[in-house]
Amino acid sequence: MYQGELNFDGLIGPTHNYSGLSEGNIASSKNSKKTSNPKKAALQGLKKMKLLIEMGIPQGIFLPHERPSLSFLRTQGFSGSDADIVGSAAKISSLLLNQSYSASSMWAANAATFSPSVDCQDAIAHITPANLFSMQHRRIEANFTYQQLNLIFKSSHFKIHKPIESTDLMSDEGAANHLRITNSHLKRGIHVFVYGRDTSKESLNFVARQSRAASEYIANSHKLDMKQTFFLKQNMKAINRGSFHNDIVSLATENVFIFHEEAFEDSKHKIQKIKNSLKVQENNFFIEISKNDIPLDILVNSYLLNSQLVRNSSGDMTFIMPTEVNNYSECKEWLKWVKENTPIKDFKYVDIKQSMMNGGGPACLRFKIVVNKDEFNNINPNFLLNPDLIKKLEALINNSYRDNLEIKDLSDPELINESYTILDNLTQIFKTGSIYSFQKE
């Protein structure tokens, strides 16, 4: 019997590559067209999941989406056999081909937004899959995410909403733009939704992905107490410097809320309103990182705040960070202060370079939920990691994933067969039946 925080990570799929599809994502652009290593990527992600289990926190897993998405290419006018479709796309539009092969569902922080039952007026946990409208290669994820969530979470204890209808004004990017602050996971908390734009038009160098309208829709449909729900606008400077999601410049776990000085517009006033809403104020840690201590560019490049902050068995907090943080003296100096002045006493570093090269740190890879004992028992156990499942996944990855994948390889018909064979094997391991379209043809 378990209650508390639970993370679901996306298993990195066999078509993990660097196509540079993500506008506003500096790492994605910087590493565009480089050779990826899908095998190493998947093993790195799995190793991070194992770390959470070792800390006593149950770990769930999402299956990769079907890639290449031939159904997407068919909607773009391509037809014929699988090989014909990929071959035609390679000749006519490499962009569409690359979008169909994207393994971006690995970043589970964008899968959905979650509200625990203790905060919802109907006492039911709510989950809304993100429509990911702002990026075409991610927009095609929403329907399968919805299907998979329904496989994992029983409807008797979880309300799975359909993704918000995709429009420019209702762009939703999931939990990467949502924070929850509470004295304890299982006690009522306050919700902070962070958005990039109020309207469909904003003057930015990069796309402001999350809309206020989508955030408000989710808060209302999840039946949250609006007196305990806040909406903060991203600082335009942060977006233009590469904070394409809010979870690059702020994070929150239980009574700890960390944010950069330039993370939000009208920051001091809005943060004070949130502080005032807390019934018990003295036990909360609102930690603002000064731009003089860590400049915004260094924060974005290091992915310091795109880390997992978890409560460990000793009652203190553990900060799980990418190894890249060690490259920045400013981050290391700030961490010394954190250890001396906050409940965060333990630091762990994870090597997830394959994900980081595409702009995803530890927090990007996971979808965090909070459950009571009854809800935990109504999660499909086939999607919860255990030693036997880990061994099966490691064997499949080591035996079937490629060591190297270049962008030109996406036009190789053999990659279609390799990917689909791996996905078919995964459905057998997870006992899901035929959930991919190629299995139903």
Strand order across the beta sheet in which 256-260 lies: 250-253, 256-260, 285-289
Give me the catalytic one of 66, 141, 173, 324: 173
- 364 belongs to the catalytic site: yes
Torsion of CA 115, 119, 120, 124, to 10 degrees: 70
Q: What are phi and psi of 220, to 5 degrees?
A: -70, -45
**Cβ–Cβ < 8 Å for 23, 135:** yes
CA separation for the pair 287, 181 (Å, rounded): 13
CA separation for the pair 114, 154 (Å, rounded): 15
Angle, helix 413-430 to helix 387-400, in steps of 10 degrees: 170
Q: Helices (H), strands (E): how many in the chain?
A: 17, 15
Angle, helix 82-92 to helix 413-430, in steps of 10 degrees: 130
Closest of 148, 159, 362 to residue 248, by C-alpha: 362
Give me the catalytic one of 16, 137, 191, 245: 245
**Cβ–Cβ < 8 Å for 321, 315:** no
- 161 belongs to the catalytic site: no
Angle, helix 38-54 to helix 387-400, in steps of 10 degrees: 170
CA separation for the pair 41, 29 (Å, rounded): 18
CA separation for the pair 411, 240 (Å, rounded): 33
CA separation for the pair 367, 175 (Å, rounded): 7
Closest of 179, 268, 192 to residue 230, by C-alpha: 192
CA separation for the pair 424, 441 (Å, rounded): 13
Q: What are phi and psi of 72, to 5 degrees?
A: -65, -45
Neighbours of 309 (CB within 10 A): 20
- List the catalytic residues: 173, 245, 364
